[in-house]
Every structure is written in structure tokens, then in C-alpha cells.
Amino acid sequence: MAFTFATLRHSARELAETRIFRRFGIYSLGPNEARILYDFGVSAVALVLALVLDALFGRDPVFRSRASWLVLAVPLLTVAYNAALGVYSRLRRSSASKKTVAISAAALLTAGTALFLTSPAVATFWFALATGPLTLARIFLALPHGKHRHIAPVSVNERGPVLVIGGAGYIGSHTVDLLLGEGRPVRVLDRLMYGSESLTEFKGRKDFELIEGDVTDITKLTFAMRGASAVVHLGGLVGDPACAVDTAFTRHANVVATRMAREVAESLGVYRFLFASSCSVYGATDKEVSETSDLNPVSLYAQTKIDSEEELLRTAGDNFFVTVLRFATVFGHSRRPRFDLVGNLFTAQAMTDGLITVIGPHQWRPFVHVRDLARALVTTLNAKPRIVQSQIFNVGDNRMNYTILQLAETVRDVTSRRRPVEMSVRDNVEDRRNYAVSFEKIRTVLGFQAQTTIEDGIEEMARHFEGGTYGSYKNEIYSNVAVTRKEVDRILHSEETNRLYAPVGTLIGSSAR
């Protein structure tokens, strides 16, 4: 048996370090920690019942003996013997029969030790009560996968390129830049709805590869995943208005695409999977929300993010590390500009029209610069996998929780140094979103804080407007809604795309009729 006390001490030290970084709570447990907690709990409950039975029927109840406190070691022994026999390590992906033998042996060893610590009656009662639940849990969990157990598990890729799905987009192009700057090879899979100009400076590099294609094209997706060590999933439709264009297309592009990306990644041995979610999942609330707060989606976009999170987190395996990042409301200059974001739109209105139109002035939003979102993604990739395994992080900074009116006033103050700027303010009863977000978890666990303030981000965009970088901010290419409408229309009338999106095309066609 390849086990030493040094190995146990090392495992205990790693577990303690993980708990310190990931904090305590039922929602922060990794798969292995859940197994340990379950085994400890079953053993403890069985011990209590064994003591009760011993008190009722035993000749010499253990709690009357001088060494009765030693019985408390039984749950710890259960976990220790399981660890010694590899239940939490080399046997994690073994067949149910192998796990059952190992767990039964550990239970027998625990009962044997309990003979010396307690009494024969307690040891016997405990063994009879604990062995069943300990072994049956593994058998039931293995049932859906039992017919595949003869297949050798796919080896895990830890050194391949990082695949950025949606890498030509607003956030993606910054992420690609930072990853390449760290010496990581990057591969991009993007349908290029907005063109590939944002990646022009990277083309031709040996450590960069661009694949034009859709996530739900299984051939392109599998080709793009080959040998990848990590996936950063930034694809899909973004924003409430764009997602409202067509329900079927939105769910296909967001939820179905995420499910396919996860399944292919895990099947091909991808090590890390980062998913870009949104703080929009919190919807409307008067309280500051954190990762454990109730979700209250008020839009299709937010609901698809919640559905995608559930697809990823409920199936994460031991060697497939999934992390969900809920982004704050993004702003700032990018290689693929957007002016359907409130901070960017206010800046464009101020610099072009001299008038900022404020709708819903008292609604709260958390803001973060696009470069900081890219930094958060890279920071998460660089973190130890066990710290971010199956974790959700709000990504932003507590210092940038603003009302819409406060944001507009900040934009006015910065841009008025260049030209006169006025504001028009009115309430908006249609948009019900209102949330201030806590970003304490990502600050304490990953040490992440925003580097670019709202003032600095607005100042940067103002300089680009003065230099003529953008042209007209009303151009359709800067609007996710306008481009999505064109894409849905193209899907409806393109034979090739209707082949790829047959279910969506059918739904769109039927709704059009």
C-alpha cells in the first residue's frame, strides 16, 4: 500500500491551504471535500446510533467506561483509512466495484481499531450501520456511467494552448493580448460576427491561431479544442437587448453552446474551463449582493447565464476545473469597440453631441474596465486549480458601485474639459435592474482589484474620439442588437447556416409565419 504519514500530512496541509483561500461554506466544497464530508458524517451518525444500541442492549455500555472519549476518533479513522487506501486519490475514477472493496476494507479496519478504543458491541453496531451507506453512495453515483467504465480515462492536458471562444470580441481581444504577453500560446474560435480586425496585430505569430467557426459546429469545436489546456468561454450573445431579438437563437447561442463546449472540453482532457457570466443574474435588489445571494433574473440574458452556470457546475469532475466569473457592467476602449454599454454610450454622447441622456438615474450598477476583466481571467488561470475549482467569483471592484446618475456626472466632469456637456435626466420604468455587488471574494481569494478607474477609462475613450478612432458611434457595427438582428436574418435565409442551426431555423421560420 503506497501510503505514508508524510503523504497524509501533505494532503492535510493542502486541504487546509485550500480552505483558507476558498473560505468555508457548503457552496465552496470541491468534489473530493464533499466525499470526505459525506464519509465523516455517515461515520459520525452511525457512531451515535451504535452508542444508543450499546446503551440499550450492551452488557457494558461504552459511555460508562473510563475511556469513552476515545470513541470520538471513529469518524476521523474512517476518513484516514479511506485516504490510506486511495479512495480520495487514485481510486476516484475507478469502477464502483473497486471503490466498494476499498471502502469496505477501510470500514473493517475502522471497526477493528474501534474494538480497542470502545467495545466489541459498539464496533459491531458501527460496522453494520456505516458500511452500507458508505458503499451504496458510490454505487449509485456510478450507475449513469457504469457502461463506460471499461474505457480508459482521457489524459489531462496541462501545457497546451489556451482556447479563447469569442476571442475576437470586446473582452476577448484584450484577453488574447494579455495571454500572449505572458508567453501562453493562444487559439481563438470565433464566428467573426463583428469581423477579425481586433486580432489583426496577432495574426502571423507562431503562438497564435485563429479558427473561424461557431461553437455549436461540432467539427470546428472539436478541432479547436485539440490539445488545449484551458478554455476561456466568452462566446454567445451579450446584453439584454441583443438577447431579446429572438428567444430560440439566444438559447441556442448561449445555453446549448455552453453545454457543447463543456462536454467536448471534458471529453478531450482540457484541464481548466473559465466561463464568463454576468452580475445581471442578481436582477433587482435593494441589498448589496454576493456570490451566495439569491438570483433574481429579470431578462432572458440573465436567465441564460444562470442556466449555463448550472450546466457547468453540476457536472464538474475531479480533473476538470470549472470557474464561473460574473462580470460587472463593463466599459472602456477596446480593439472591438461597443457603444451599447452605458458608460461608453454616455462618453460617446458627451464627446459627439454634447448631451448625455440619462434614463433610470437611481439604478445601481457595478462597473469595471474591459482590461480589468481580461486581467481577472488571466489571474484566475494562473491561480492554483484547487482554489478556483467549482467556484463563482463576482468580477469588479467595490469602489465602482455607481448609480446611473453618478456615472453620468462622472462622464460629464471628465469630458467637459474638452467641450461643453449637458445632461437630460428621466426615469425608466421598463428596466428593472438594480444591484450593488460585493467583490470581496475575488479580492481576498485571488488578490484581484481593478486598476483602471471610471475616470481614467472615460479619459482614454475621450482621447480616441478626439483622434477620430471610432467614427460615428451610431454605426451598427458598434451595437450588439443591430448585428444580432442581421445574424438572425442571415440564419433564416442561409442554406448553410440553416443546416447548422436546423432547430433554430425551424423555430425562427415558424415564428415568422
Digit-coded pLDDT (tens) for 103-131: 889 888 888 888 777 778 888 888 888 88
Q: Are residues 462 and 421 in the same domain?
A: yes
Q: Are residues 115 and 218 in the same domain?
A: no
Spatial separation of the C-alpha atoms in residues 33 and 41, rounded to whole Å:
12
Spatial separation of the C-alpha atoms in residues 356 and 41, rounded to whole Å:
59
Spatial separation of the C-alpha atoms in residues 258 and 311, rounded to whole Å:
8
Spatial separation of the C-alpha atoms in residues 384 and 381, rounded to whole Å:
8
Average pLDDT over residues 122-146: 75
Q: Are residues 270 and 329 in the same domain?
A: yes
Q: Are residues 80 and 184 in the same domain?
A: no
Which three cell numbers mark 329? 457592467
505 found inside a domain: no
466 found inside a domain: yes
Q: Are residues 252 and 395 in the same domain?
A: yes
**Residue 145 pLDDT > 60:** no
Give the rounded distance of the alpha carbon of 254 from its chain centre.
14
Spatial separation of the C-alpha atoms in residues 291 and 127, rounded to whole Å:
40
Which three cell numbers mark 14? 493542502
Domain limits at 132?
5-148
The torsion angle over the Cα atoms of residues 251, 257, 263 and 269, rounded to 10 degrees, is: -150
* Alpha helices for 143-253 (secondary structure H): 172-181, 218-225, 240-243, 247-251
* Least confident residue range of 300-309, 421-430, 491-500: 491-500
Q: Are residues 196 and 258 in the same domain?
A: yes
367 found inside a domain: yes
For residues 364 and 434, the answer to whether their CB atoms sit within 8 Å is yes
Q: Are residues 366 and 240 in the same domain?
A: yes
Q: Are residues 130 and 200 in the same domain?
A: no
For residues 378 and 175, the answer to whether their CB atoms sit within 8 Å is yes
pLDDT range class, residue 505, cuts 50, 70, 90: very low
Total domains present in the chain: 2
Phi, psi of 187 (to 5 degrees): -125, 135
Question: Could you tell me which residue, 396 or 65, shows the higher pLDDT?
Answer: 396
- CATH number of the CATH domain containing 341: 3.40.50.720
Q: Are residues 76 and 167 in the same domain?
A: no
Average pLDDT over residues 404-414: 95
Choosing from 86, 113, 148, the residue where a domain stops is: 148
Q: How far apart are the first and last CA of the chain?
A: 69
Closest CA to 29 of 324, 347, 277, 387: 387
Digit-coded pLDDT (tens) for 342-385: 999 999 999 999 999 998 888 888 999 999 999 999 999 999 88
153 found inside a domain: no
pLDDT range class, residue 427, cuts 50, 70, 90: confident
Spatial separation of the C-alpha atoms in residues 128 and 148, rounded to whole Å:
31
Distances (CA, A) of 265 to 165, 259, 340, 373, 378: 12, 10, 32, 23, 19
Distances (CA, A) of 176 to 185, 188, 371, 375: 9, 8, 11, 11
Digit-coded pLDDT (tens) for 56-75: 776 655 444 445 666 778 88
Q: Are residues 474 and 339 in the same domain?
A: yes
Q: Are residues 178 and 138 in the same domain?
A: no
Q: What's residue 211's pLDDT? A: 94
